[in-house]
Amino acid sequence: MDADHPRSGVLIASRSTRKQENSRFWFASHGFHKGRTIISNAEVHRRRRFVFNLDLEDFFGTINFGRVRGFFIHDTMFSLEPKVATLIAQIACHENALPQGSPCSPVISNLIGNILDSRLLALARDAHCTYTRYADDLTFSTNETLFPTEIAVNVHGADWEVGVKLRKTIEGTGFFINLAKTRMSLRQSRQTVTGLVVNAKANINQDYYRAARAMCNSLFQTGYYFRPGDNPASATDKLGPLDGTLSHIHFVKARRDRHPKVNKLAKAAGEFHPPRAPEELYRKFLFYKYFAAPTAPLIVTEGVSDITYLQCAIRALVKKFPLLAEEVDGKAVRLVHFLKSSGTSRELLNLGHGAAGQGALISRYENMLEDFKHKPMAHPVIILCDNDDGLKSVIKNAKSKISKIVSTTTTDPFYHLGLNLYLVKVPEGAPPVDKDIESLFDPALLATLLDGKKFNPKKEHADHTEYGKVIFAEAVVRANAGTVDFSGFEGLLTRIEDVLRHYAALMTAAAIPAAAAPGAAAAP
């Protein structure tokens, strides 16, 4: 088949899928593979007498153009024609090797790494060991009284070196060992696999968690943090690295490698109780990141589809709303952020899946911020709601914060709920009526049929008769953003800009956080 044949990509994808579904090819590999994680990689090595770890040197760089091309030609699951294999290798490789960060590299490295895995599995089986691989990280473990010398040899005391047979097997498949990262750990010491302690169960190293907790405490008090043991002069206010650390801890502690429904059923059966302290620490960090120290005005919507609508509207109306975006090299660069709906935001912040979470945020906002000594609140946080029956919990809690009436019929451009928190409703019209954000689109767009199905704004997704907001946002709005009429959003975007001006004036007058009196404000 010719490389540019229209079915060639389909053929490659289908063969790759068949190979991935064949368990014999993936028994040892836990990296870059759906349903497997660092946790699944570590779990099989827990409670072992010996755990031996080693790394492969320059893993991706070792897989060069010739190896990629040759694999797709000679592997029986592919058996591609040379022209097709050459094209794939040209796409996948950069400077004669698989580059790190490319979406092709993980899959292809696993396909070629399977040759290594199959030989090491045979070696491990004969030596009564368990073997797994996570990318370039190889692990052997056993409960045998003596560790097999074909895999590793005890030279002296705590010093071990790679066994001759293991070294030859690895080098025979075109890979090389990074001797600086070879380590043996015994049962009486701390045993780790892909960074997780496996003496009893796959878990976070307690020193790692204590360091994260100390960094958070410093951040919440001063706005800066540094890793314990580092020079305080290295302190930073960059939240990305600490966010990654806490996300990793939460991933392991909350068993995010399993399907959420599995965890939910396990909790209901009393079989799974994720530790509360790490969860609370991450929740507190996220509250600090998004609300105490936002780096730009933050908009909290009811759901993910609202974010898509607003992003597209701001991009289309960039010249009319300079506080929301600016043009750079012909492209609209947004000056406001959105709290994106994710598993973490829904689980820990209860946001991104309806107005009830927004109402709860209003209720606990001030109390949560009291936990932080450092809270610059340089930008406003805007809760954006539909003006309909779903607003009840938001209205109830908003009323408790201000002396102003808030309802579906009030028409204030925004409501200042205290500190840096604001409420903005979808414009009510004249006379005021219930409106959701979808009502801002042209009726003709709302009537768009997809596969013969009508749009139902009351649904999130779809069924056999109708499609919902998420599909409408992506398949209709975003897909046709260049031609969609977003003029109906001008009133809503004006209200958001009014908030930005109001908060800027408060900050200029040094009225936030202590002296600002919460209440409704008219547009400047």
Residues 63, 109 contacting (CB under 8 angstroms): yes
Reduced to 3 states, what is the DSSP secondary structure of residue 99? coil
Residues 375, 222 contacting (CB under 8 angstroms): no
pLDDT in tens, 451-494: 999 999 988 877 889 999 999 999 999 999 999 999 999 999 99
**Three-state secondary structure of 293-324:** CCCCCEEECCCHHHHHHHHHHHHHCCCCCCCC
Per-residue pLDDT of the chain (524 residues; tens, 9 = 90+): 444 443 444 444 445 455 445 544 457 999 998 888 999 999 999 999 999 999 999 999 999 999 999 999 999 989 999 999 999 999 999 999 999 999 999 999 999 999 999 999 999 999 999 999 999 999 999 999 999 999 999 999 889 999 999 999 999 999 999 999 999 999 999 999 999 999 998 899 999 999 999 999 999 999 999 998 899 999 999 999 999 999 999 989 876 555 556 666 666 676 666 678 899 999 999 999 999 999 999 999 999 999 999 999 999 999 999 999 999 998 999 999 999 878 788 889 999 888 999 999 999 999 999 999 999 999 999 999 999 888 888 888 888 888 888 899 999 999 999 999 999 999 998 899 999 999 999 999 999 999 999 999 988 877 889 999 999 999 999 999 999 999 999 999 999 999 999 999 999 986 555 445 455 444 43
Determine the angle formed by the axes of helices 206-222 and 276-287, rounding to 10 degrees: 30
Reduced to 3 states, what is the DSSP secondary structure of residue 181? strand
Q: What is the Cα 410 distance to its own chain's centre?
A: 38
Q: What's this model's pTM, rounded to 2 decimal places?
A: 0.82
The structure tokens listed for 346 are 């829904």
pLDDT in tens, 156-193: 988 999 999 999 999 999 999 999 999 999 999 999 99
Placement of tokens 């749009």 in the chain: 455
User: Which amino acid is present at 328?
Assistant: V
**Three-state secondary structure of 416-481:** ECCCCEEEEECCCCCCCCCECHHHHCCHHHHCCCECCEEECCCCCCECCCEECHHHHHHHHHHHHC
CA pair distance 34, 55, nearest whole angstrom: 22
| CA angle (472, 476, 477) in 5-degree steps | 90
Nearest to 235 by CA among 255, 214, 264, 250: 214
Bridge partners of residue 133, in order along the sequence: 29, 138
Nearest to 225 by CA among 247, 243, 201, 251: 243
CA pair distance 508, 47, nearest whole angstrom: 60
Residues whose CB falls within 8 Å of the CB of residue 15, separated by 6 or more in sequence, listed in order: 77, 78
CA pair distance 300, 74, nearest whole angstrom: 53
Residues 475, 518 contacting (CB under 8 angstroms): no
Placement of tokens 């009030």 in the chain: 410
Cis peptide preceding 431, ω within 30 of 0 = yes
The structure tokens listed for 410 are 């009030």
CA pair distance 459, 467, nearest whole angstrom: 7
29-48 burial, b at 16+ Cβ within 10 Å, e below that, comes to bbbbbeebbbbbbbbbbbeb
| CA angle (128, 185, 138) in 5-degree steps | 60
CA pair distance 517, 365, nearest whole angstrom: 16
Looking at residue 391, the DSSP 8-state letter turns out to be: G
* Residue 404: predicted pLDDT: 83
